[in-house]
Structure 1
Amino acid sequence: MFPDTTATCHVLDNGLTVILNADSSAPVISTQAWVETGSIHEGDFMGAGISHLLEHMVFKGTKSFTGEELSQTVQAAGGQWNAYTSFDRTVYYIDGPADSAKTFLQAVLEMVFMPSFPEFEFEKEKDVIRREIDMGLDDPDSRASRLLFSTALASDGRAEPVIGHLELFNKVTYEDMCAYHAARYTTSNTFLTISGDFEEEAMLATLKELTKDIPRSFTKHATVQSEPRQLGQRTRRDTFAIPVSKLALSWQVPTLDHPDAPALDLLSTILGGGRSSRLYQRLREKRNLCLHIASWSWITAMGPGLFSVSAEVPTEKRDELQAAIREEITNLLNDSLDEELTKAKRMALSSQFKTLTSASGRASDLGSNWHEARNLNFTKDYLTAVDKVTQADLRRVCETYLLENTTLTVTSLDPEDKVAKTVTNKKAQSTREITSHTLSNGLTLHLCPDNRLPTVSLQGAMLAGMTSETPATAGISTFLANMLSKGTTSCSGEEIATALESLGASLKAGAGNNTASIGASCLKPDLETVLEIMGDTLANPAFHQSNIDFERQTQLAALQEENEDPASLAFRTLRSTIFEGQGYGINPLGTEESLAGIDRLGLTAHHALYYTASNTNLCIFGDIDPDTTVALAEKHLSQLKTGEKQSPAEQPLGKPLEIHRTLDKQQAVLAIGYPGADIASPDIHALDLIHAWCADMAGPLFTRIREDLGLAYYCSATQFHGHTTGLFAFYLGTSPEQLELAKHELTNTIHEIAEKGIPAKTLDSVKNSWLAKQALANQSNAAMARLCAVDTTLGFSPTHHRETAEKIKAITVEDTLKAAQAYFAKQQPTVVTVTP
């Protein structure tokens, strides 16, 4: 039903792509230049709004026109012109009489490729944009939108406002802008769409004449960060001078090329597309829960997209409305959707037909098709897919995406006075706000003020650890972490130690299963000094040969000492077997062979790949002023190179085996291990309780095997959660002659746990014990900052650690049984024994 486009695509001699759509139905024309650059392409200027600044400055004059002449020429020719900048494009357009086509094209081509950039206009235009930034900060809809995008796309360039943050915008220089233009406004990165009353051959001749002085140019590569898979519900609330709350529920959804995209678009129409939609009629008109409500899907070529429901709601009804929205979504699974589906398809078709009624609409549609899909017929192809969507498809995508809590983001912008009345001082203190900021180099900063003591804790995490190593580089993460404080290109290790200790401050780096880390603590007045030292150690480690040689000896000694410990040998063997000697199966200390191969070149390469701004989250908790701290971090941490956010490697799993090792010691050690849960698994909280129970002196292992039978010196459990899998292991130490009986009893105990989970009479006490231990362990700012740093680096929200206690409280006996059966009954274990 939707027509094939009659547009044609051409490539000029200089590489510029031109899309022509001749239509003589009206004597008008639309000329558009699409530059495929936007705020997500700004690299080192991320968050500074340099793309938007550039959009403003090209109107200030070109090769042939001053700014005033340009405006007068377009106006005299009857042109209506403007431009916009978004996340991934900057578009310039002039619409007007068809006989002015050459004038419009000359203007738009010179604006894009031959701007004069009068320097005297630069600061004046920056002042204009500063006012625009202030206007955005004063606009509640803009603030609500920023809150949603910065939460739902926290690690993504789209989390930052297109117009930029004022403090970063202020740093952009005239030279920065000119260099950015040269890098991004190229013939390979730009295309024209022209629709209206013209002859194709004559238009191509005109374009050839107008572009003869525009040379072929290629785009400088820009690293674009996309949001990783969301691993848990994210919730953020903020306040503003508004009368009612602005609530949004958003779920991550796939990209435009995914087969579910058409169904998701139709589902958003059915839910909240207009006044006859389900949410509007049922929740606004019938239940009076909100003043306005709508749903929308934002699905683009770059993922993830968002499926959102937004509403204006009296604050006292906000939570009730949120629950009602979730209920209506659930109802979709059982309701007949025939009539609503037909209506939604008709609305989609009608909307697209309206686009084609004007030259500007046709040019925009073609530009969008080319930009998103490099397919001029994409609109028709997409509508064809929309027409094939069935009720079953709607229910499937609803169940797949909208009933999935781990991809849900909830934000609300609430009235200041009403929130103040409902929050006590004690509650405000116990849930201190965490704010997130992105530095100009891409480093993510999370700040939490706490003025109870004049101290500050800094905790940084990089996505690295064991998954960044190979058997040949085993131990390099630990090695590098220990080298950071041994000296930089400007400061010796002794000078670093003296500077810190003279302040009573500390700095320590390390490496674990999933992350590398750096932590520091200091008194409030010394924060800038410590930040300067931290920035220097992170960005500029010297890796002096003498320090490398000494660290190699130190780590080798630790490895040799570990080799003499039967428990260490058992666990190294267990992990190596379960993970096939890769990733989590690598010894963090390395091997004698791998340590011998670590050199300055290898350390430098590992550092350059993983110790980058885009791969780092830094949490600063304590007696801080957020604005001052952001400025200090920008000053001292911006030297860290932007780099790229790393992706953890898939972890292999080996076949379960029974392995026996010998070591000339008195004791025997038994370890029984299973592949465990990944960090996104819904089972992790049940497993945490099983682990706490089995590791406790009142738990089934200790009471049965050590206390009742006297078969072991120690008996416990251990676990960790990884990127795609984890480990859960039981272990004991015993005398060689009791090993078989101890193994029999431990195996029976594991089987009993797999059959029953945690008994009902025991579960509450296990929860209380777990909660108490966590409260004691995490009462300091350092501990909370460490949790926040690791969580955000792994893809969780900054407040994820605050949600764990409630999730633990919600675990049932059935949850523990389900988890125990999944990991201990349905999987075969790897068993390792070490005997004299």
Structure 2
Amino acid sequence: MKLYRILDMNDERNFCTLENGMMVAFDQMKEVETVAISVLMKTGSKFEKKEQSGISHFLEHMAFKGTNTRTAKQIAEEFDMIGGYFNAYTSREKTVYYAKVLKDDIDTAVDILSDILQNSSFSDEEIDKERKVVLQEMAQTKDTPDDIIFDNFQEAAFPDQPLGRSILGEEEIIKSLSRDQIIEYVNSRYGFNNVIVSAAGNFDVNNYNNLIKSKFNLLPGKSENLEIKSDYRGGESRINKDLEQVHFVLGFEGVSYYDDDYYTQQALSIIAGGGMSSRLFQEVRENRGLAYSISAFGSSYADNGIFGIYSSSSDYNINELVDVVITELHKMLDSITEEEVKRAKAQVRAGLLMSRENPVSRAEKFASNLLIYGRYVPISEVIDKVNAIDPSKVQKYLRKILSNNKQPTISSIGKIDKLYQYDTIKNKLKV
């Protein structure tokens, strides 16, 4: 029986789709002594029903808590025995489990990863233990203003939608999450067609493919192909709390990773607040001493995105900080220089090329390429798009997000009595 749709064993970077729908990718790096395995599940908090909020992240925790053949301690001991590293993370659109080991230990890495993803026991005892851990993680986040402000920001940008909910979930839901709910979620979201297994490093391709075929054969059947649409709306989250500083995030509707302006948004983030030479760092910190740090960011999803700016300052300086941010954004509408764009493009290129030296980054990048674009995206193709960015393109994109008829998103935590009201900031932003 033919299992592969496409595969060229002579290509150092390739992928295939098994008949059951699972995608398998490899990216060879013959000059290194290690191999990284990344198992990407096409699911995250964006795909959760309201009553499941936080279940993707909770399931990620449970994967390391024992299987039908290994205890949690045995899993840890086996990886430590080979000097390997393994971990996992959950985002809004994917959940990733990964390992990095010496090239001769690929069999062990695949065996353990396939075991925890197919044979986790989900005992009630371990669920209750991990429930406490996750609740402590949630409490820690709530006590950290520069963490929780971004959850509040996301909720204000995408209210009453899965994309707006915290990846950690809601406390009451985590407290009541049951074994049956976890198993039901696994069966519905961890099917073969929702899995991408990617390897990068020094390994034998035939051995790797045979390992994946033989080890990953107990996943649930086909998962439902959910199309979850999100609608950026904008708004405000404003929390009065006795803190030394007011934490502040200002954001706008951005672009998806399919948009032509995806890399333009990255360049804008760098020019506005991507380092010590950025506009906002120079004006806010170096020239005025209003904040210890300030940064700009772009977050993209399948159907939309966000461009935002974060900083914090004392309550008596916060409005001056807001004014400076808005003034600098307005200045950038017609004053971005070739030199600034050149520096931004250099940073994007450096990040891309440096990540190519890390097997973990390469394995995860290939898996993400397949998730988003359904193909491997050559680094040269990305660099061509980055090189095409010029000042007029960045300025045009900035004008588009500032003049968008959708309202901005503002999130603040601290002694906010002196902070401008939402409508005041909105009016100041108008171009």
Contact 2:191 2:222 in 1 (8 A): yes
Taking the aligned partners of 2:188 and 2:73, their CA distance within structure 1 comes to: 27
Q: In structure 2, how many angstroms separate the alpha carbons of the residues matched to 1:408 and 1:236?
A: 12
Structure 1 residue 208, shift from structure 2 partner: 2.6
Write the letter of the residue equivalent to 1:346.
Answer: A
* Residues 1:75 and 2:76 are matched in the alignment: no
Q: Partners of 1:314 and 1:74 in 2: how far apart?
A: 47
Question: TM-score w.r.t. structure 1 length?
Answer: 0.48
Partner in structure 2 of residue 167 of structure 1? 172
Q: 1:313 to 1:404 in 2, by over 3 A?
A: farther
Query: Does 1:16 find its partner at 2:22?
Result: yes
Contact 1:40 1:46 in 2 (8 A): no
Alignment pair present for 1:65 and 2:64: no
One-letter code aligned to 1:165: E
Q: Match for residue 297 of structure 1?
A: 298
**Counterpart pick for 1:203 among 208, 222, 231:** 208
Question: Among 150, 153, 156, which residue is 2:158 paired with?
Answer: 153
Among 127, 142, 150, the alignment partner of 1:137 is 142
Aligned partner of 1:770 in structure 2 is: none
Change (3 A) 1:110 1:341: same
What amino acid does structure 2 have at the position aligned with 1:264? Answer: Q
Secondary structure, counterpart of 1:331 in structure 2? helix
Q: Distance in 2 between matches of 1:377 and 1:336?
A: 29
Deviations 1:580-634 (A, max 9, x none): xxxxxxxxxxxxxxxxxxxxxxxxxxxxxxxxxxxxxxxxxxxxxxxxxxxxxxx
Residues 571-720 of structure 1: matches in 2 within 5 Å?
none
* Change in 2 beyond 3 A, CA 1:111/1:141: same
* Residue of structure 1 equivalent to 2:376: 376
The correspondence of residues 137-536 of structure 1 with structure 2, limited to 5 A, is 137-211=142-216, 213-214=217-218, 217-222=221-226, 224-228=228-232, 230=233, 234-303=235-304, 305-377=305-377, 379-404=379-404, 406-415=406-415, 419=417
Residues 199 and 137 (structure 1 numbering): CA distance in 2 closer, same or farther, change over 3 Å? same
For 1:279 and 1:220, locate their aligned partners in 2 and report how far apart those are by CA, in whole Å: 45
CA contact (8 A) 2:35 2:106 kept: yes
How far off its partner does 1:13 sit? 4.5
Structure 2: gaps of 5 or more residues: 1-10
- Within a 5 Å distance, the mapping from 1:21-32 to structure 2 comes to 21-32=27-38
- For 1:370 and 1:250, the matched residues in 2 are separated by 29
Contact 1:32/1:194 (8 A) holds in 2: yes
Shift of 1:107: 0.7
Deviations 1:274-319 (A, max 9, x none): 011111112211122322211111123232x111111111211212
**DSSP-derived class of the 2:298 partner:** strand
Could you list the per-position Cα deviations for residues 479-499 of structure 1 after superposition, in whole angstroms to 9, with x for gaps in the alignment? xxxxxxxxxxxxxxxxxxxxx
The Cα of 1:53 is off from its aligned counterpart by 1.2
Alignment-derived partner of residue 95 in structure 1: 100
Which has the greater radius of gyration?
A: 1
> For this pair of structures, how many residues does the alignment match?
416
In 1, Cα distance between equivalents of 2:169 and 2:219: 31
Question: Which of 43, 47, 55 lines up with 1:41 in the alignment?
Answer: 47
Residue 86, structure 1, aligned to residue 80, structure 2: no
The 1:28–1:255 alpha-carbon spacing in structure 2 relative to 1, beyond 3 Å, is: same
Give 2:181's aligned amino acid. D
- Counterpart-to-counterpart distance in 2, 1:333 and 1:225: 31
Shift of residue 215 of structure 1?
5.8
The answer on whether the counterparts of 2:118 and 2:219 sit within 8 Å (CA) in structure 1 is: no
* Counterpart residue type for residue 120 of structure 2: P
The one-letter code of the counterpart of 1:43 is K
Q: SS state of the match for residue 406, structure 1?
A: coil
Counterparts in 2 of 1:296 and 1:104: CA distance versus 1, 3 Å: same
Cα distance in 2 for partners of 1:353, 1:10 equals: 25
Aligned residue identity for 2:401: Y
Aligned equivalents of 1:94, 1:236: Cα separation in 2: 38
Aligned-residue identity in percent: 23
Q: In 1, distance between residues paired with 2:260 and 2:369?
A: 17
Q: Distance in 2 between matches of 1:240 and 1:368?
A: 39
Displacement of 1:183 after TM fit?
A: 0.9
1:156/1:225 contact within 8 Å kept: no
Q: Determine the C-alpha separation between the residues in 1 that align with 2:379 and 2:32.
A: 23
Structure 1 residue 375 displacement after superposition: 2.4
CA offset digits 1:629-686 (Å, max 9, x no partner): xxxxxxxxxxxxxxxxxxxxxxxxxxxxxxxxxxxxxxxxxxxxxxxxxxxxxxxxxx
CA contact (8 A) 2:36 2:98 kept: yes
Q: Distance in 2 between matches of 1:310 and 1:382?
A: 27
Preserved contact between residue 49 and residue 162 of structure 2 (Cα < 8 Å):
no
Q: Is the 8 A contact 2:21 2:192 kept in 1?
A: yes
State the SS of the aligned residue for 2:401: helix
Alignment equivalent of 1:54, drawn from 59, 68, 71? 59
Assess if the C-alpha contact under 8 Å between 1:338 and 1:391 holds in 2.
yes
Structure 1 position 170, deviation (Å): 1.6
Q: What letter matches 2:116 in structure 1?
A: M
Which blocks of at least 5 consecutive residues in structure 1 are unaligned?
A: 424-430, 432-798, 811-836
Q: Given residue 22 of structure 1, which amino acid in structure 2 is its aligned partner?
A: Q
Cα separation, partners in 2 of 1:322 and 1:6, compared to 1, 3 Å: farther
Shift of 1:216: 6.7
C-alpha distance in 1 between matches for 2:105 and 2:203: 11
In the alignment, the residues of structure 1 paired with residue 404 and residue 219 of structure 2 have an alpha-carbon distance, to the nearest angstrom, of 51
Query: Is the contact made by 2:263 and 2:385 (CA closer than 8 Å) also made in structure 1?
Result: yes
Contact 2:290 2:313 in 1 (8 A): yes
The AA in structure 2 aligned to 1:67 is: A
**Distance between the aligned counterparts of 2:240 and 2:349, measured in 1?**
39
Q: What CA deviation, in whole Å up to 9, does each residue of 1:526-575 have, x standing for no partner?
A: xxxxxxxxxxxxxxxxxxxxxxxxxxxxxxxxxxxxxxxxxxxxxxxxxx
Alpha carbons 1:401, 1:407 under 8 Å: kept: no
- Provide the rounded CA distance (Å) in 2 between the counterparts of 1:157 and 1:364: 24
Letter in 1 for 2:134: I
Give the conservation status (yes or no) of the 8 Å contact 1:59–1:67. yes
* SS of 1:84 mapped into structure 2: strand
1:328 is displaced (CA, Å) by 0.9
TM-score computed with the length of structure 2 as normaliser: 0.90
Q: 1:161–1:290: structure 2 CA closer, same or farther, 3 Å change rule? A: same
Does structure 2 conserve the Cα–Cα contact (< 8 Å) formed by 1:355 and 1:365?
Answer: no
Q: What is the deviation of 1:378?
A: 5.8
Give the Cα separation in 2 of the matches to 1:216 and 1:122: 21
